[in-house]
Structures are given as C-alpha cells and as structure tokens.
Amino acid sequence: MSPSKSAVRVWTWALLFLVIFSTTITNMAMSEVGFREAAKKKYMSEKVRKMFYHAYDNYMTHAFPHDELKPLTKTFTDSLSELGNLKLEHLPQHYNGSALTLIESLSSLVVLGNYTEFERAVWWLSDNLTFDVDARISLFECNIRVLGGLVSAHILATDSTSRFIQGTYKNQLLNLAEDLGQRFLWAFDTPTGLPYAWINLKYGVMENETTETSTSGCGSLILEMGALSRLTGDSKYEAVALRALRKLWSMRSSLDLLGTTLDVVKGEWIEYSSGIGAGVDSFYEYLIKAHILFGREEFWDMFHSAYLAVQKYFRHGPWYHEADMRTGKATYWQLTSLQAFWPGLQILVGDIAAANSSHREFFHVWERFGVLPERYLLDREMLHPTEKYYPLRPELAESTLYLYQATKDPWYMEVGESIVNSLNTYTKVEGGFASVKDVTTMQLEDHQHSFFLAETCKYLYLLFDDSFLAGKNYIFTTEGHPLPVRNSWHERLPEAYTPTNWSYVKSENQAKRASAMSLQVCPDTLTGGRNDGYWVESACHVRDARADHMCQTDEECGIDSTTCRKRTCSMAGYCGLWLFIA
Ligand SMILES: *[C@@H]1O[C@H](CO)[C@@H](O)[C@H](O)[C@H]1NC(C)=O
Ligand SMILES: *[C@@H]1O[C@H](CO)[C@@H](O)[C@H](O)[C@H]1NC(C)=O
Ligand SMILES: *[C@@H]1O[C@H](CO)[C@@H](O)[C@H](O)[C@H]1NC(C)=O
Ligand SMILES: *[C@@H]1O[C@H](CO)[C@@H](O)[C@H](O)[C@H]1NC(C)=O
Ligand SMILES: *[C@@H]1O[C@H](CO)[C@@H](O)[C@H](O)[C@H]1NC(C)=O
Ligand SMILES: *[C@@H]1O[C@H](CO)[C@@H](O)[C@H](O)[C@H]1NC(C)=O
C-alpha cells in the first residue's frame, strides 16, 4: 500500500466520521428542537383548553339555557333576537333563550375530545330545544350559529370514528335542524328569491318587515343549507340558497364587484361601496368553501372572478380598502377587525405570500393595541371614534391557524401564544371572558359572545393541537363549525376518495408553498399547470402577452402575482414593475 493511498484512506475515514458525527449532532439538536416544540404545543393547548372551560362552565352555571353569558354580572342575555339588530327593534316579550352558547359549543367539545359533555348537551337539546318561539331573528346569524352548529354536531355525532354512543342517537339534532330550515324557507318567498334579513321563528316574515339586507346575508347560506339538504335528502334548502346566491351574483357590476346592502324585493343595491369586511366577508368565503365542499364548477367561477376583483380594486399593498362597485374608486380607507379572516381564505386558494403579508400587518395592529380594534382609519392613522371595541373576535386566530397549517412556520405559534396571553390578561374575569369596550382603556363590557366558544377558542386550540384534523378533511363554516369533505357530497371527488391529513404536506419545500386544500381540491390552473405543487400561482396573476416578457406597450404586460400591480413596459422592452426603468 503506497503512503499516499493510506493517507487518502485516513482522510476518507476522518471525513466519514465527521459526517456521521455532525449528522448525529444535528439530529440531536433537531430532536431537541422538536421536543421543545412539542412541549410548547402541549403547554399552550392546555392553556387554551382551560380558557374554553372557564368560558363554558361559567355559561353553564350562570346563563344556561339562556343564550349568552354576561360575565361581569354573572347573569344571562337572551341575545339571539339581538344579533345584528343594532337598533334593538322588535324585541320579543316572551322569549327565554335557545341555549345558543351550548349549541355553539357542541363542535368545540368534540374538538377538545369531551364526548361525555357533548353527549349530555345533545340529550338536553333533543329534549328541550324548540324553535316554535315568538322571536324575530336574523336569518344570517341564526343560520351560521344555530343551523350550522346543529348540522355540524349531527355529523360529528354520527361519525363512525367518534366515540359517541351509537344506536341510541336517533338524529334528534338533524330533526331540530330540519325544523329550523323549514322556518328559514319563509324568508325566501320574495319576487327575487333573495331572502329577507329577518324572520319571526313562529310567524314567519313580519308585516312591514324591512326589505334591506346585506350581501353576506344573502350570500352565506349555501354551506349550512346545502349540508342540510344532503343530510335530509330534501333538496329544497340547498335550492333556495343557490337561487339567492345566483341572483346576488347576477347583480354584480361590470367590474365583478358587489355592494354591501340591497333591497330583496326590488333586487337593487342600496349601498354601492363595499370591501372584504362587515356585510360582505362571508360571501367570498362561502364561494370558495362551497366549491371545496360540493365541487361545483359554478362556485369556482364566481369565486375566481370575485377574488380577482378584490385584489384589483380593494387591495393596497397588504391592506384592503373599500371601493364603489360601479367605478372601482376607493371610498373608505379603513381596517376592520373582520377583515382579518382574509389571509385564511387566501390559504385555501394557495396565495400564501399575500396571506402572510396581510396577516403580519393585522398582527402588528394587534400588538400595538393588545387586541384588534373593530375599526381603524388607515388614511388618518387613528382609531375610529366610536368603534374602538374588541368583542373577542376569532378572525386573527383563524388566519394564524391556516397559515401555520400551510407553512408549519413556528412563528405562527408565537402569534397564537401572544393572542392567548392578551386574552387572558385583558379579557378574563372571574365570571368568564368579557368583550373589550375600548381598546385604549381596556374597559370591559358585560358580554361573552357565543363565537368565543365556537371559534376563538377552537382555532387557538387547533393551532397547538390539531389531532382532531388528522385523517380528516374539514372545512370550517364562517362560525367555525366543521363540515367534512366527502365524495358523496362532491361532484368531482373519486368514489374511492379518502381524506389525507388536513395539513398533509409532501416535502419541506411544498410546505412553504401550498395549502392542503389547494393540493386536494382546487383546480389545477392554480398551480400554473405544474402539478408538483411547488409553485402555486397567485390568483391575482395575469400573464404577460408574450412568454418571453418582451413588450412594446404597457397593454402587453399582465399583473404581478405578489404585488397585484399592473406591470409596465420598460424602455428596454421588458414587462416589469420597475418604474424607474420605464
Ligand atoms: C319564560 O320564563 C318565564 C319566567 O320563568 C315564564 O314565566 C314564561 O312562561 C317563559 N316564557 C316562555 C315563552 O317560555
Ligand atoms: C368535560 O366537560 C365537563 C364540563 O365542563 C367537565 O366537568 C369534564 O371534566 C370534561 N371532561 C373532560 C374529559 O375534559
Ligand atoms: C330538559 O330540561 C329540563 C329542565 O331544565 C331538565 O330537567 C331535563 O333533564 C332536560 N332533559 C334532558 C334530556 O337533559
Ligand atoms: C304597516 O304599515 C301600514 C302602512 O304604513 C300601517 O298602516 C300598518 O299599521 C303597519 N302594520 C304594522 C303591524 O305595523
Ligand atoms: C412571511 O413574511 C416574512 C416577512 O416578510 C418572511 O420572513 C417569511 O419568510 C414569510 N413566510 C412565508 C411562508 O412566506
Ligand atoms: C398525518 O401526517 C403526519 C406527518 O405529516 C403523520 O405522522 C401522521 O401519521 C398522519 N396522520 C394520519 C391520520 O394520516
């Protein structure tokens, strides 16, 4: 053996040793990180679990079977008839509540794995809940909270993999949901098919009832009514919701924009300005979620046009302002707390970069005030003079969950931790969790909204413990109630469709790029024709006229996918965003 050969061998061994050694060290470090992350998740999910039970047990002690808890005075409010009723008109005389917070808690109890309490609640509702009450309620609110809560709980109760006692349950929740759905039908009896915003649960539409409603009021019924039809085999619920949605969509402007309020009898717009927040938000949400749940191409077509119009006319960097549906001109430059759901929706379409940047801005506002103020004037950089409250809303936590699931970036868990800490610091009182009346003083209000249990606690819990989602593919209604994606409800999923992990990702790279939803259900056009899932094209992207990006005029250039700005033709003859070249 020549000296040089043995030297090579020594070096080879040394190198090999180094590689093995460093890999071991890296693995040890990795498992150390993994261990700390797992411990953190366990600690945080316990913390959120405690929050839920603090809210729930106080409700059960001081308010049940009334609708919601007043945590400061430890009493109750029969608020179902007050939801959306800003001027508190036509309040009922003899209404003792519908156990609203219990209905809203059903799916959260399952997410937390408390089947005993879930069962107890189901039996109580089966025996005692009635909708034959003389109360005027908001169709929208009652649909997302009560119908959605019942339908979702029925599905969870009959899920063959859950530990709910089989055989003894005789579809009581579904029967209640159907009874409610029947009452909803009264609202749709209009010349346009657009539903009234208000009905009396016992007597139907009241004499001289207002004909004004909102875009979300007509456009976010399809998930709950559709699910009710699929479960009962009676198509009429889905049919009326679909008819209303189609009518609403037919009222869009030539820019594919909608207004915020409209008249259900005349079929005309009342408020032409709209954005992605209050009065409109869940309309967009339900188009994409209806497509994911039912697979119908029509929903995708509506969503895609509507989404492009939002990115084109409302978006300003990471912010969204309002615009006039007729001209596309900006009207109000305001951030509203409800808009914080938008990044979550963008995850469903795979538009992760845009979701990430908006979410970060919302979180900065949260950090600045401690919670998210209801309305902030972007142009004047100040809080809205009267809407300074934070009613325990879930939207930021919701988006944080979606972003974490899509990217697995641990930073989002830090966001969640910060949200949990704020809620415990500012809103927890002995009798539950109280809404913040004024974010500048952190003065509290005597109200614990049912969505705190249905959504805020649920999304935060799922951020740290997503075992509920394993092996399932759920979409969440706008009130946080899970509905499973099933091939029997879906037009395009194969017979043998079995859901994978909700957050299932094939590789690290892909994890940063695509959401589970966009991989599983959304049309392939989203991935720009590539099916390796590595590169998901933004929905605001419009291609340049030429593949080599050469141009003679601005018209030949498309729209940039991350900034959503129109590209311009540079002096060198290339499409770009660099104004100084052009
Ligand atoms: C509501 O509760 C009050 C007091 O318990 C009772 O007198 C009344 O009959 C109840 N009303 C209805 C409609 O159940
Ligand atoms: C379920 O909820 C009830 C009511 O809050 C509570 O007493 C019970 O300990 C919970 N069970 C579990 C397993 O968390
Ligand atoms: C129905 O409500 C009554 C009165 O609160 C209660 O005594 C009864 O146990 C309830 N039914 C069930 C099945 O929980
Ligand atoms: C409805 O409006 C008409 C005309 O304004 C009025 O005469 C009638 O009393 C109203 N009915 C109710 C129940 O308010
Ligand atoms: C989100 O934005 C931050 C800041 O710009 C960046 O560091 C991070 O990598 C982004 N994450 C994703 C998943 O795009
Ligand atoms: C979900 O995915 C993870 C890894 O991504 C895997 O460890 C786990 O077993 C999966 N669970 C199910 C139910 O498929």
Ligand in closest contact with the CA of 205: 4
| CB 117 less than 6 A from any atom of ligand 2 | yes
Residue of 256, 281, 446, 466 marked active site: 281
- Residue 30's CB is within 10 A of a number of other CB atoms, namely 11
Q: What is the distance between the alpha carbons of residues 209 and 203, in angstroms, rounded to a whole number?
A: 12
Q: How is residue 550 annotated by DSSP?
A: B
| Tokens representing residue 312 in the block | 């084109």
Domains in the chain, CATH or no CATH each: 54-523 (1.50.10.10), 524-582 (no CATH)
Four-residue CA torsion sign, 331, 334, 336, 340: positive
| CB 93 less than 6 A from any atom of ligand 1 | no
Among 484, 482, 508, 483, smallest CA distance to 498 is for 484
| Tokens representing residue 128 in the block | 């005692």
Main-chain dihedrals φ then ψ at residue 410, nearest 5 degrees: -60, -15
pLDDT at 5 (0 to 100): 46
pLDDT at 230 (0 to 100): 97
pLDDT at 26 (0 to 100): 57
Indicate if 285 belongs to the active site: no
> Which string of DSSP letters, residue by residue, matches 180-204?
HHHHHHGGG-SSSSPPPSEEETTTB
Strands 435-438 and 432-433: unpaired
Among 270, 350, 337, 362, smallest CA distance to 307 is for 350
Local structure of 136: helix, strand or coil: strand
Q: What is the largest CA-CA distance in the chain?
A: 105
Task: Tell me the mean pLDDT per 10 residues along the chain, length 582.
Answer: 47 51 59 85 98 98 98 97 89 94 98 95 97 97 98 93 74 97 98 98 97 98 98 98 98 97 98 95 95 88 88 86 95 93 86 87 95 92 93 98 87 97 98 98 98 98 91 89 90 67 43 35 35 44 73 81 69 66 27
| CB 332 less than 6 A from any atom of ligand 3 | no
Q: What is the distance between the alpha carbons of residues 516 and 529, in angstroms, rounded to a whole number?
A: 17
Indicate if 374 belongs to the active site: yes
In sequence order, the 6+-apart residues with CB closer than 8 A to the CB of 381 are none
Residues 570 and 582: beta-carbon distance below 8 Å: yes
In sequence order, the 6+-apart residues with CB closer than 8 A to the CB of 40 are 413, 464
CA of 1 to the centre of ligand 4 (A): 111
| Tokens representing residue 570 in the block | 């540079």
Kindly list the distances between the CA atom of residue 43 and the CA atoms of 40, 417, 579, in Å, as whole numbers in the listed order.
5, 10, 50
Tokens 């540079």, residue?
570
102: β partners: none
What are the start-end ranges of the E strands in 258-374?
Answer: 261-263, 268-271, 273-274, 315-316, 319-320, 323-324, 334-336
Indicate if 281 belongs to the active site: yes
Residue nearest to atom 11 of ligand 6 (CA): 470
Among 242, 231, 219, 66, smallest CA distance to 151 is for 231
pLDDT at 532 (0 to 100): 43
CA of 150 to the centre of ligand 6 (A): 29
CA of 504 to the centre of ligand 6 (A): 7
Q: What is the distance between the alpha carbons of residues 157 and 123, in angstroms, rounded to a whole number?
A: 11
pLDDT at 166 (0 to 100): 60
Residue of 67, 141, 455, 544 marked active site: 141
Four-residue CA torsion sign, 453, 397, 399, 414: negative
**Neighbour-count burial of 442, counting CB atoms closer than 10 A to its CB (0-12 exposed, 13-18 middle, 19+ buried):** middle
Ligand 3 pocket check: which of 98, 116, 128 to mutate, most ligand atoms within 8 Å of Cβ? 128
Residues 473 and 520: beta-carbon distance below 8 Å: yes
| CB 356 less than 6 A from any atom of ligand 5 | yes
pLDDT at 425 (0 to 100): 98
Q: What is the distance between the alpha carbons of residues 487 and 431, in angstroms, rounded to a whole number?
A: 44
Indicate if 37 belongs to the active site: no
